[in-house]
């Protein structure tokens, strides 16, 4: 899932490549992806793109005061195209959700633009056309941005959360921008168990966790910004220490990275770095052994 660093990098990419151009046409290919009807998607046609930004994990394209807001969900992505086909795409065919056509500049190929796509059968990519980003329910509920929250506010948020750290870090209403991958990386950097209760952190653990949030996301952002959209996913994978590395050695201590699986997701961690050498119970395997 694209998280804060990737979405911020996509916004930076669009500021460099799309802002200042006229959005000539937006073709919807996945009807289920559009979540609003007023203004209509057609209202974007002929307007200049004036900005690109981010709200948590939402990408926001400002089109002369009308906002095209996208949540890429688990398997969505943006693909920049130097030459888009003129014919509208056929709805329901393949991973394409939305195709955005832009007016070329003098030095451009004839038909630049970008596609929003989503792989897999579980479709969660969401598209909103709104007059203000705050009209998007998910944005209205967002907690403070993970890279903007100060240490005191962060400590207060953790102290008021009666749940495990993994869930606290990925709860967008508590702190926005962190997803499954970077929460694993943050907890590994902070040397904390994903199952530790958020409201039971001592002062030293709070400092470690806050510093790990800042360092992990900042380092990822530095790697991502300036990349082309096509290379961002690979850049993300190359920087991971534990996430999606089950069975591989921990780069810090050499212990084997372990996994805990849930119904539709999983987490990865290092026992030596995070849990005092004790493996966490994998609930999926526990059920199989009964």
Q: Report the pLDDT value the prediction gives residue 1, as an integer from 0 to 100.
A: 81
All domains of the chain, ordered by start, with CATH? 4-140 (3.20.190.10), 151-289 (1.10.8.50)
Residue 254 burial (C-beta neighbours within 10 Å; 0-12, 13-18, 19+): exposed
pTM of the model: 0.93
Strand 51-55 with 58-63, pairing? antiparallel
State the number of CA atoms in the 13 A half-sphere of 210 facing the CB.
19
Q: Report the pLDDT value the prediction gives residue 262, as an integer from 0 to 100.
A: 85
* Residues of the chain with confidence (pLDDT) below 50: 285-290
Q: Report the pLDDT value the prediction gives residue 92, as an integer from 0 to 100.
A: 78
Residues 6+ apart with CB under 8 A from 40: 129
Q: Report the pLDDT value the prediction gives residue 235, as an integer from 0 to 100.
A: 84
Q: Mind giving me the DSSP string for 148-217? A: T--HHHHHHHHHT--SBHHHHHH-TTTSBS--HHHHHHHHHHHT--TTSBGGG--HHHHHHHHHHHHHHH
Residues 6+ apart with CB under 8 A from 154: 175, 206, 209, 210, 213
Tokens of 39: 């203004």
Q: Report the pLDDT value the prediction gives residue 283, as an integer from 0 to 100.
A: 62
Q: Report the pLDDT value the prediction gives residue 290, as an integer from 0 to 100.
A: 28
Residues 6+ apart with CB under 8 A from 121: none
């Amino acid at each position: 899932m694209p998280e804060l660093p990737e979405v911020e990098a996509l916004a930076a990419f669009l500021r460099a490549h799309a802002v200042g151009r006229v959005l000539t046409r937006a073709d919807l290919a996945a009807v289920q992806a559009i979540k609003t009807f007023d203004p209509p998607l057609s209202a974007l046609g002929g307007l200049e793109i004036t900005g690109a930004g981010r709200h948590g994990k939402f990408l926001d394209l400002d089109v002369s005061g009308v906002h095209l807001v996208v949540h890429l969900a688990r398997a969505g992505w943006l693909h920049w195209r130097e030459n888009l086909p003129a014919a509208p795409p056929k709805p329901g065919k393949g991973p394409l959700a939305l195709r955005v056509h832009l007016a070329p500049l003098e030095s451009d190929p004839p038909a630049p633009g970008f596609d929003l796509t989503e792989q897999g059968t579980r479709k969660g990519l969401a598209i909103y056309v709104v007059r203000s980003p705050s009209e998007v329910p998910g944005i209205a509920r967002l907690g403070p941005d993970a890279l903007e929250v100060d240490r005191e506010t962060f400590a207060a948020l953790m102290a008021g959360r009666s749940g495990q750290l993994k869930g606290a870090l990925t709860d967008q209403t508590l702190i926005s921008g962190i997803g499954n991958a970077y929460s694993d990386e943050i907890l590994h950097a902070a040397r904390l168990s994903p199952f530790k209760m958020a409201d039971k952190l001592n002062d030293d653990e709070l400092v470690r966790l806050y510093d790990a949030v800042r360092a992990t996301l900042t380092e990822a952002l530095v790697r991502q910004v300036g990349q082309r959209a096509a290379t961002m996913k690979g850049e993300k994978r190359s920087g991971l220490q534990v996430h999606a590395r089950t069975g591989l050695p921990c780069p810090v201590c050499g212990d084997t990275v372990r996994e805990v699986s849930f119904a539709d997701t999983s987490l990865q961690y290092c026992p030596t770095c995070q849990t005092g050498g004790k493996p966490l119970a994998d609930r999926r395997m526990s059920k199989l052994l009964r």
